[in-house]
A = this chain, B = another copy of it.
Amino acid sequence: MSDLLERLRGRGWRMTAQRRVVAEVLDGDHVHLTADEVHIRAVAKLPEISRATVYNTLGELVSLGEVLEVATDKRAKRYDPNAHRPHHHLVCARCGTIRDVHPGGNPLADLPDSERFGFTVSDVEVTYRGVCPTCAAA
């Protein structure tokens, strides 16, 4: 994710220890953390980082298009660093684990004109739900 930091510096982002730490926490695949989870992990690396800064930084990353907000559960928003490869989500109904998935086909094409109510439809979000192997075994 240091290419992310590169890109952001190029966009005039002032580099701070706090922002670096938030970016580090968001590194990886299938990462979908809540703001508080990001904060907890960030504090482990930089104890004095504040909750407000985590919220600020996440908000900026979202408006820069570098991180996505996902609302797979009905509680806290989750932050998804996989913003450059379009994908959907598969959620375990028991433990909440979230995996990135890439379905075949184009779900947008499945919505006939007669079901568009005159809307200009530009985007679709798909959430699959089920039970993960770990929870199924238990």
Q: In the complex the two chains form, is A128's CB within 8 Å of B132's CB? A: no
**Which residues from chain A sit less than 8 Å from chain B, CB to CB?**
69, 71, 73-74, 77, 90, 92-93, 99, 101-105, 107-108, 110-112, 115-133, 136
Q: In the complex the two chains form, is A120's CB within 8 Å of B111's CB? A: no
Q: Residue A131 contacts which of B103, B104, B107, B120 (CB distance < 8 angstroms)? A: B120
Beyond A90-B111, A103-B111, A107-B110, 10 additional contacts (C-beta under 8 Å) are A71-B73, A71-B74, A99-B119, A103-B110, A118-B132, A119-B130, A120-B136, A121-B130, A126-B126, A126-B127
Given the interface pairs A71-B74, A90-B116, the reply to whether A107 lies near B103 with Cβ below 8 Å is yes
